[in-house]
Amino acid sequence: MKRRLFAFLLAALLCPAISGCSSPAGSSSQQTASQESTSSEQGENSEGTTITISYWGSTLEDDAMQKMCSAYKEQTGTTVERLYIPNADYTTKMSALIASGDTPDLAYVFPVDVYKWADQGLFVEIYELLEQDPDYSYEDFIPHTFLEYEPGKCCGRMMSCESILMYYNKDLFDAAGVEYLPSKWEDAISWEEFLSRCQQLTLDANGNNAASADFDPQNIVQYGFNVVKDYDGWGAWIVNNGGSYFNEDGTAFTMSDPKCLDALQFLGDLCNVHHVMPDATTAATQNNNGAAQSLMTGAVAIYQDGQWACLDFDGMDFNWGVAVMPVGPDADEGAPYTYFSSSPMCIFKSTEHLEETWDFYMWLCNPDEAIELYSNGLWQPVLRSWYEDEELLAKWTQTDARPSGYMDAVVDMTVNHILPLEASYINNFDQMDAIIESSLEPLWLGTASAEQAVANIDVSAYLDGSRTAIGPQS
């Protein structure tokens, strides 16, 4: 049965001033849906309400969204039109819909976009609705699920949870006689030990490893480690050395802190000094292959990536495992940490069907409605009960897409040792990250030290504080 909200709250939120902000959802946005998603349902449901959701994702996610929308209509009578937009075009397309007044009822939103649109007053305030929800409360969700654009005011909730971890090929470890990486938080290894294992796992064409005096770094056939060098790649090394590249309130850029510099230099040295990680040219190919393909082919032994990569491992015929991040010499006692890397889902104030939109918004919280997105390795739940209730936990973790060690390296880390990604709370992060990433390129190329590269970073024009309250906190 459809869940219902208190009528007085809906009336307050759907006042003429708000509903007049945009043309009715489902006009040109529905036309765009039919153009951009060939599988999109069309037409108005003559017996019920029609709402629209915009989203991105893989073919699998698009198919899953279609199934969810069909199931929701069967249960409630509400038609959900799907506006699928490719990742690369998403911000541009959504900006055009906002400018034209043709916003959908609810939408996936990139973290770098969410606050600027929240500041423009485009989104419904989530906490007000959540307080009146008959089925869910704030405490039902894991830490860092909600994004607050002002203290006590929420503009969206994360659509799912994704954490950062290490993947590794056990067959390559066995062949080299190297001990497996630890999956338990309390067993995390040091950077020194991590380097040693990477050296033993890096091989040249003659079979010499990187610890051998005969090793040929010009003819490497198997690398010990790889990671996409972006903010949730190198950022995870910074936080696991006790560092932070912004201060707590987002008013200062602090990457010159030795804890940050040491983490960045360690990564740079893995590539250019120790030769256990692909150089910039080789890494471009490896990164395009992704974690699963790189590990399966034996090109790389260890790959740092997001939890979502479990999807790609499902069904692959080799032994793989997952592990927690290594910890640096200056790590605090809470390390190792993982990142909460995801994107929020928001409701536009322009919706003319807030009750139905909210109902669908919260219906999507329940993994049972799209269990394949969780059991196949793509998503982690945001509801706390799906981590704490053994029966619910088994539904999405006892599958071929979850290897041994997953309960420790992912489930325990998500519940007890997770930090919000800087992109989810630092203002103007996208502008600053563009500067940071380009400035770090010389470090990855081996033409500058971490200290030299960071000295060239100037993001002062974009420092504008942070949205520090991201809940629930625990």
The single residue listed with the structure tokens 């790649």 is: 233
The per-residue pLDDT for 47 is 58
How far is 375 from 400, CA to CA, in rounded Å?
9
Residue 125's identity, in one-letter code, is: E
The structure tokens listed for 346 are 């928001």
Task: Mention every residue, 6+ apart, whose C-beta is less than 8 A from residue 257.
Answer: 243, 244, 245
The per-residue pLDDT for 240 is 98
Residue whose C-alpha is closest to residue 357's, from 79, 111, 27, 30: 79
For 227, the 3-state DSSP assignment is strand
Q: How many CA atoms lie within 13 A of 112 on its CB side?
A: 12
32 to each of 20, 62, 100, 106, how far by Cα in Å? 21, 16, 13, 15
Residues β-bridged to residue 322:
167
Residue whose C-alpha is closest to residue 292's, from 327, 320, 332: 320
Radius of gyration of the chain (CA): 23
Contact 104, 53 (CB under 8 A): yes
Burial string for 392-418 (b: 16+ CB within 10 Å, else e) reads bbebbbebebbbebbbbbbbbbbeebb
The sign of the CA dihedral 297, 300, 301, 302 is negative
Residue 33's identity, in one-letter code, is: A
Q: Which helix (H) or strand (E) is 29 found in, with range?
A: helix 28-36
Task: Mention every residue, 6+ apart, whose C-beta is less than 8 A from residue 206.
Answer: 214, 216, 219
How far is 78 from 44, CA to CA, in rounded Å?
10
Task: Concatenate the DSSP letters of all residues of 173-207 into one string.
Answer: HHHHTPPPPP-SGGGPPBHHHHHHHHHHH-EETTS
Residues β-bridged to residue 52:
81
Burial of 145 (0-12, 13-18, 19+ CB in 10 A): buried
In 302-461, alpha helices (H): 310-313, 354-363, 371-375, 385-388, 390-397, 406, 413-416, 429-445, 450-455
The per-residue pLDDT for 470 is 53
How far is 367 from 381, CA to CA, in rounded Å?
7
**Neighbour count for residue 219 (Cβ, 10 Å):** 11
Three-state SS letters, 373-395: HHHCCCCECCECHHHHCHHHHHH
Q: Is the peptide bond before 336 cis (omega within 30 degrees of 0)?
A: yes
For 346, the 3-state DSSP assignment is strand
Contact 55, 61 (CB under 8 A): yes
Burial string for 119-132 (b: 16+ CB within 10 Å, else e) reads eeebbbbbeebbee
How far is 272 from 177, CA to CA, in rounded Å?
25
**Positions in the chain short of pLDDT 70:** 1-47, 283-289, 468-474
The structure tokens listed for 66 are 């279609």
The per-residue pLDDT for 283 is 63
